[in-house]
Copies of this chain bind each other. A is one copy, B any other.
Amino acid sequence: MTVNPVPSAAFASDNAAPAHPAALDALVAANSGNVAPYGEDLLTEQTADAVRNAFESPGAEVLFALTGTAANIIALTGAVRPWELIICSDTAHIIVDEAGGVGRVSGATLATLPSRDGLLDPGQLDALIGGRGDVHRSQPRIVSITQCTERGRVWAPDAIAQFVDHAHRLGLLVHVDGARIGNAAAALNVSPLAAVGDADIVTVGGTKNGMLFGDAILVRRPEHFSGVKFVQKQIGHLPSKHRYVSAQFDALLRDDLWLRLAAHANDMATRLSAGLVALGHRLSCPTDANEVFVDLSDDVHAQLSRRYLLERPVTSAPTVRFVCAWSTTVGEVDAALATLAALPSEQ
């Protein structure tokens, strides 16, 4: 018996997973005949309706982008002028994981707030509101929060509602980076809308939830986001063969498949999390949805890395991240736990 020399990507990220068959089937079904390009097709129109319906936002504008990073750039650049301020948590994907793309394309300044695993309190916004109208200061315009957070935490419906309301009272817009919004809604067992509060614009993740690629941008208050369509085009995210994004979203949203896939991923994370605790490991933070953060020593991480690609979040030294996907199986979870249990114990 030989050991596979390539570490498994099973828990590396939910974007290491394959696409759900329904997404592929939708591509095959859409692959017929000539269709008006750039989203001027009927399927795209229907799918935009489906997104609006899923979030109970009939007046919303819906755009699609090919990656989550792009969806965030489009949403935030659509909101701000270059002398304005974008506020986010210190773990936010837009500041940590996008190579500065939002700042570069928008020209605006990003200000970070310390967070509890990516969660913020409404009152933290107050200190950033000063300087309105003062030409020497970047003008606060929008706050971006993440649901689930980059530490796998889920905002409770009350918490996000209060946060959004407070931001609105302060004259701030709210963006929700919902790369894993399905996991949040499934974990909370509430509607997608309840999971984003009264946010003004939402990035709706598709890629991590079973699609090959594609995220949507739900512009709930289009009057504040003039120009999103131009930004989308300017960074090359208006796909010519748009039907292939639309078809996948259409398939995933149908009969709430996306929420069922997300719930499964959450369940696998719960199983993994419980198993890690049973093995005596300490969770770095609670497991709310489909990501598990656990404290593992460098030595254990190094040994595990021979079998699994596992990321250490940049700023949290002892933490190792496991992500479960729609496709994660009980067998994979149990095998990972068994691998960990079999490691020689540390001194």
Contact = CB atoms under 8 A, between A and B. Distances in A.
A110 B107 contact: no
Copies in the complex: 4
Contact of A101 (B16, B66, B110, B236): B236
Interface string A212-253: 110000000000000101111111111111001000000000
Nearest to A247: B212
Given A32-B18, A36-B16, A69-B236, A107 B97 contact: no
Given A66-B239, A227-B83, A240-B207, A233 B101 contact: yes
A278 interface: no
Nearest to A236: B70
A136 B71 CA distance: 16
A309 to B, nearest CB: 6
A105 interface: yes
B82 A104 contact: yes
A184 to B, nearest CB: 19
Interface string A153-167: 000000000000000
A99 interface: yes
A227 B27 contact: no
A131 interface: yes
Given A31-B18, A83-B234, A207-B241, A100 B104 contact: no
A12 B83 CA distance: 25
Contacts of A31: 18-19, 24, 212
B28 A24 contact: yes
Contacts of A83: 99-100, 104, 227, 230-231, 233-234
A147 interface: no
B127 A315 contact: yes
A2 interface: no
A110 B100 CA distance: 9
Interface string A251-289: 000000000000000000000000000000000000000
10 contacts: A68-B236, A69-B238, A99-B137, A99-B230, A101-B236, A104-B107, A130-B314, A135-B233, A135-B238, A207-B241
Given A12-B34, A70-B235, 12 more contacts: A16-B35, A34-B327, A66-B239, A67-B237, A82-B234, A99-B137, A99-B234, A101-B235, A103-B107, A135-B232, A212-B241, A236-B237
